[in-house]
A and B are shown apart, each in its own frame.
Chain A
Amino acid sequence: MGDLQIKKQPKNYDAVIVGSGAGGGMAAYVLANAGLKVCLLEAGPMFDPKTDSNQLKNPWESPRRGASTKFRPFGDFDGCYWGWEIDGEPYTQKGDSKWEWWRARMLGGRTNHWGRISLRFGPKDFKRKSIDGLGDDWPIGYEDIKPYYDEIDKLLGVFGTNEGLENDPDGFFMPPPKPRLHELFIKKAATSVGVPVIPSRLSILTKQINKDRGQCFYCAQCGRSCKVYADFSSSSCLVIPALKTGNVDLVTNAMAREVLTNKEGLATGVAYVNKDDMQEYQVSGRTVILAASACESARLLLNSKSSRHPNGLANSSNVVGKYLHDSTGADMGGIIPELFDRKRYNEDGVGGMHVYSPWWLDNKKLDFPRGYHIEYGGGFGMPLYGFNWGIENLNGNYKIKGKQKEAGGYGASLKEDYRYFFGSHVGMAGRGETIAREDSYCEIDPNVVDKFGIPVLRFHTYYTDYEIKQAKHMKETFSEILHAMGAVTTWGGDDGPHNNYGLHNPGNIIHEAGTVRMGNDPKRSPLNKWSQAHDCKNLFCVDGGPFVSQADKNITWTILALSMRTSHYIVDELKRQNI
């Protein structure tokens, strides 16, 4: 280490952006197209879905048949590098906290494999405290963000239908795909028990929108990222187009260490480790935009201590890292005997569900304060590792081609069973809103550093009765829907008070938000309503960090809209020389 030195890049950029996922990609796109000079730091390698996607690979092309590894927890073909654990980059827990932290390390981040569920927050979602007295209202309302939702609908593309629902706003939708067979079963059953089912809203192109992006060809593999750019990933739809402007210098394998500040307390740039040569670098900019993920951005701020910011940057409120929350999640699945021995045809469809259920009840009449939506799955999926596992629990329970068989077995008769059950499974998952709380947080672990010597995060996150009661309600709803369609529950039916009704650990749904929240009061929030730091006017955060609450909607579309809004603000403020 004798030759370790800090290399300073001579160029002074208009903006240094940390992270190339939804928030950072959008900031790079807007700023670069406004003619500003941008340095984009990404902690992982280059990734272009066009060349790097595992789309259309067959199961046998993977020696583990698509099973998961620590490098790809969602399977060998998945479009995301890393996940729940990264070699040499630990995180810790306080007490018996069980936060699960997904970290992507690649151009485009998690957007290369996400579910493409693109839901606008509704008017009520910004003002929950005014409705139920819990958490806080946002400093902005739906009317502030609506123009940006409109713009990203058109820029990035999303299918769905205008249903005129009060808290699930209409948008600029492309036509959705028709429901698959199991989705017609679900729709019929759910509707009969009072749960509405409408076309899903996914950022997948069912129509062509421009010359750079292809149209969906229905392989159901959005999770692998799309070679023809027919779904939204930050890599394909924002960063790569931004690079073409010539205004963006992308630095891959750049792990940010801290935000640099001057005597006046303003941000001057970012210090990072280059993972290729393990040397230390500094890059300077007129503004610094954090988009490293809600928790990584909080970590960067807390690790950026100086005499002007002794408590970490933008943290005079002592709120950075607090109000960390994820969507709740609970699931259940079953088998539909009516679908045994189905006729075979290609039902891949788009990647993900063609229909879903937005929240349909009034929480004032329930024993938990916030809602959830339901996602559905099933049908003829590509056989991958785990396919046909556990037949011994299935084949003794049903008549197969009119014959009652003994559980388990082997031989030609067993082969017949596997064929008989294929395509008859169905699953559902609730994704709900958590109350963001001050005592659910991440902080710097005083004792532990990662392999770069950067102090790591320690988590302290718990669920309360609100979330547990919501999970109980999810389970009751799923049972009711499965029963109404004549399905037999095969998993998720044994959950109860002993395991919080199958409520997943916080973080598991991978919607981390709230750690750098926005608000009008500098004493209670690190950012103002433009996602600009109260304490440091040329510092911004555009990932899940600024969220005051995250609704019962997946957060990506709102990250994109907020990032676009903040990016336009930055362009204007730089022009006016206010920052």
Chain B
Amino acid sequence: MDRRKSIKTLIVGGVSAGILVEACNPSDNKNASTEQKAADAKAGGINRMAEEKESEKRIAAQKFFTEAEMATITILGDIIIPRDEVSGSASDAKVPGFIEFIVNDMPEHQTPMRGGLRWLDMQCLNRFEKPFKDCSHEQQMEMVDAIAWPKKAKPEMAQGVSFFNLVRNLTATGFYTSEMGVKDVGYIGNTVNNWNGVPEDVLKKYNLAYTEKELKECVSF
């Protein structure tokens, strides 16, 4: 297959490929493969084996956080990743929905999240007589500043620091794996390309150069 044709195959997707599978596997019944395609489409187009499909259905149907918890997660997320001149906020990128999914997928996050949210609300009740989500913006930021800086936080805030680290990490990983976040951080890939080596200006910046041997023996475009 030449390059142009293989790229065309990629773009066209499953058309010619579907024919190949059927030709290889004449005994397979066609309904099964249609069913598979429908299920794949539901799963966001990701290829999944039968056992995975069952599991995906179960996880997607689960709901862990209460509405109040989700509200707090959303506020915290937008404090961690606010809108700036480059990109939108965590909630713009639907990070709260990702966090809801991931705690169902990875139950080890459930207790630290639930307990941490309750720890936060108890702190706020004692300080401001309101749970975190109902506090004023100034009160919320005072609370966040008490737990957002691991090295200068007071020792009695240690559990809050652990909780905020977890929320920061979940929020960041959710944001930077969203379409908006990938663009923000500047990952330019996942596409049809010709790798022709490090750009000339970049080589120069780091005072590097390809050897003659490399230039001679490596693929060039």
Chain A interfacial positions (CB closer than 8 Å to B): 44-46, 48, 50-54, 56-67, 69, 71-72, 76-77, 81, 87, 106, 159, 161, 175-181, 184-185, 188, 199, 206-208, 211-215, 217-221, 227-230, 240, 243-244, 250, 338, 342-350, 380-392, 396, 406-412, 414-415, 418-419, 422
Stretch of B16-24, B65-73, B110-118 contacting A (4+ beta carbons < 8 Å): B16-24
* Cross-chain contact B176 with A383 (CB below 8 angstroms): yes
Chain A residues with Cβ below 8 Å from B155 are: none
Evaluate contact between B190 and A219: CB separation under 8 angstroms: yes
Residues of B within 8 A of A45 (CB): 49-50
Q: Which of B24, B82, B205, B208 has the most CB of A within 10 A?
A: B24
Task: Report yes or no: B177 in contact with A418, Cβ–Cβ below 8 A.
Answer: no
Question: Can you give 28 contacting A-B residue pairs, CB < 8 Å?
Answer: A44-B49, A59-B178, A60-B179, A66-B177, A71-B55, A175-B218, A175-B219, A178-B197, A181-B198, A181-B202, A207-B219, A214-B5, A215-B1, A217-B3, A217-B6, A244-B24, A347-B195, A347-B198, A348-B190, A380-B189, A390-B169, A391-B168, A407-B149, A408-B150, A408-B151, A409-B149, A418-B172, A419-B186
**Complex alpha-carbon distance, A390 and B7, angstroms:** 38
* Docked CA distance A350–B189 (Å): 12
Partner among B7, B21, B184, B210 whose Cβ is within 8 Å of the Cβ of A51: B21
| Residues of the B chain whose Cβ atoms lie less than 8 Å from the Cβ of A214 | 1-3, 5-6, 9
B44 interface hit (Cβ, 8 Å): yes
In the bound complex, CA of A338 to CA of B208 (Å): 13
User: Known: A178-B219, A214-B1, A383-B187. Is A410-B79 also a contact (CB below 8 A)?
Assistant: yes
Given contacts A180-B198, A219-B189, A348-B193, contact A63 B148 (CB under 8 A): no
- Bound form: Cα–Cα A418–B84 in Å: 14
Q: How far is the CA of A384 from the CA of B187 in the complex (A)?
A: 11
Q: Does B61 contact A (CB under 8 A)?
A: no
* Chain A CB within 8 A of B214 CB: yes
Q: For the complex, would chain A's binding face be called helix, strand, loop or mixed by DSSP majority? A: loop
Q: How far is the CA of A65 from the CA of B210 in the complex (A)?
A: 36
Q: How far is the CA of A342 from the CA of B151 in the complex (A)?
A: 28
Q: Provide the bound-state CA to CA distance between A173 and B11, in Å.
A: 30
Shortest distance in angstroms between B122's beta carbon and chain A's nearest beta carbon? 21
Contacts of A54 in B (CB 8 A): 46-47
| B107 lies within 8 A of chain A by Cβ | no
Q: Tell me if B46 and A338 are in contact (CB < 8 A).
A: no
A271 to B203, CA, bound (A): 60
Query: Of A63, A81, A185, A349, which one neighbours B49 at CB under 8 angstroms?
Result: A81
Let me know if B126 is at the binding interface, CB within 8 A. Answer: no
Contact B47 A208 (CB under 8 A): no
CB neighbours (8 Å) of A64 from chain B are 101-102, 105-106
